[in-house]
Amino acid sequence: MPAITPQPGIMDIALYEGGESKIDGVADVLKLSSNENPFGASPEAVAAVAAAAAQMHRYPSIDHAALRRVIGDVHGLDPDRLILGVGSDELLTLIAQAYAGPGDEVLYPVHGFSYYPIVARAAGATPVTAPETERRVDVDAMLAAVTPCTRLVFVANPANPTGTMIGADAVARLAAGLPDRCLLVLDGAYAEYVDGFDGGAALVDAHDRVVMTRTFSKLYGLGGLRVGWAYAPRAIIDVLNRVRGPFNLSNVALAGAEAAMRDRAFAETCREINATERTRLTGGLRQLGIACDDSFANFVLARFADEAEAAAADAHLKSEGILVRRVKGYGFPEALRITVGRPEDVTRVLSALGRFRGQG
């Protein structure tokens, strides 16, 4: 036994597996494995990052006031109830650190985002899953899984990797049904893709124990810059600011995110193209006999006959230079998660899968 050992739970953490990004010997890889924006970031964000680079010897803002103001303007939210993190991942970590510990349970749906058990264990708490029904979050099953130890509940809506969504009534029923000691975190990483959806902001306003997290990594195309935000009751923002590193976001990241949020036209165009191409991808898959649910995000979960067929489809896509995501670790050995790409990317995926199914 080494003399220096980490806190209980840390060595139970399974390392996060990201989407693959390389295929040996292939130069023109089409990466559809991490739900990134296929159009990249807004050119205005790219220019803002370049300009901010000249100031990188300066420490960044501690309070992120400028970016919080822009987010508040765009979303109609009180900037004093916003907090910025190094991706929404950091905010999930801070929430778990502040609100869960040894003996506490952190509850999430069984096919939920694989980062939830990581933040639970890192905080010394115990991850607990509730069953889903037909790849959808099941509010009754979630409520039934609550125990006296449950302190934190994570739900992504739309969900990853299923792409499914539950309605505002269902989420409201979950929030109302949880005991007062439970904090509900609504992970809105894909909320931007749903026209007119507030990501749960109204529920945050209606309760004193609901938090919404959002990200610049998906629709805004800033996954590599690492910026996320959360909207929460003032008391919870105050707690999270105490555990947040004062300089957690670089001035480069702050500048890029601010410009990205201001460029409404770019975001709207990306959202519209995603919706069109998602419909085409879903329809094309079904035409090939590959099952998939309607997705509300920027990816589709393609379900094959079994694990062997999913593995063969993945291998075939790779042979054509296309990377998608195996989701066995999410409880879907028979499925592949495919990010919605540009129109030509969707065509390339469907043609490749057509050849795989012998229909090309």
Ligand X SMILES: *Cc1c(COP(=O)(O)O)cnc(C)c1O
Residues that bind ligand X (CB under 6 A): 35, 87-89, 113, 156, 160, 187, 189, 215, 217-218, 223, 228
Looking at the Cβ atoms of 9 and 223, the one nearer to ligand X is: 223
**Least distance in Å: CB of 289 to ligand X?**
28
**Least distance in Å: CB of 106 to ligand X?**
15
Looking at the Cβ atoms of 257 and 290, the one nearer to ligand X is: 257
Alpha helices in the chain (DSSP H): 43-53, 65-75, 87-99, 115-122, 139-144, 168-177, 201-206, 234-243, 251-262, 264-287, 307-319, 343-356
**Separation between Cα atoms, residue 155 and residue 185, nearest integer Å:** 6
The contacts of residue 66 (CB under 8 Å, 6+ apart) are 254, 258
Length of the chain: 360
**Separation between Cα atoms, residue 289 and residue 283, nearest integer Å:** 10
Looking at the Cβ atoms of 187 and 314, the one nearer to ligand X is: 187
Looking at the Cβ atoms of 52 and 189, the one nearer to ligand X is: 189
Looking at the Cβ atoms of 187 and 192, the one nearer to ligand X is: 187
**Least distance in Å: CB of 94 to ligand X?**
12
**Least distance in Å: CB of 306 to ligand X?**
25
Tokens in use for 6?
């980490």
- How far does CA 348 lie from the centroid of its chain? 25
**Least distance in Å: CB of 35 to ligand X?**
6
**Separation between Cα atoms, residue 261 and residue 67, nearest integer Å:** 9
**Separation between Cα atoms, residue 180 and residue 252, nearest integer Å:** 39
Looking at the Cβ atoms of 19 and 354, the one nearer to ligand X is: 19
**Separation between Cα atoms, residue 110 and residue 97, nearest integer Å:** 22
**Least distance in Å: CB of 294 to ligand X?**
18
**Separation between Cα atoms, residue 152 and residue 159, nearest integer Å:** 17
Looking at the Cβ atoms of 91 and 145, the one nearer to ligand X is: 91
**Separation between Cα atoms, residue 30 and residue 43, nearest integer Å:** 21
DSSP assignments along 108-177, one per residue: EETT--THHHHHHHHTT-EEEEE-EETTEE-HHHHHHT--TTEEEEEEESS-TTT-----HHHHHHHHHH
From the list 50, 39, 25, the residue with the least C-alpha distance to 223 is 39
| Residue nearest ligand X, Cβ-based | 87
Looking at the Cβ atoms of 113 and 356, the one nearer to ligand X is: 113
Looking at the Cβ atoms of 74 and 315, the one nearer to ligand X is: 74
**Least distance in Å: CB of 27 to ligand X?**
27
From the list 241, 192, 186, the residue with the least C-alpha distance to 209 is 186
**Least distance in Å: CB of 7 to ligand X?**
23
Q: Is 232 helix (H, G, I), strand (E, B) or coil?
A: coil
**Least distance in Å: CB of 103 to ligand X?**
26
> Residue 320: how many CB atoms within 10 A of its CB?
16
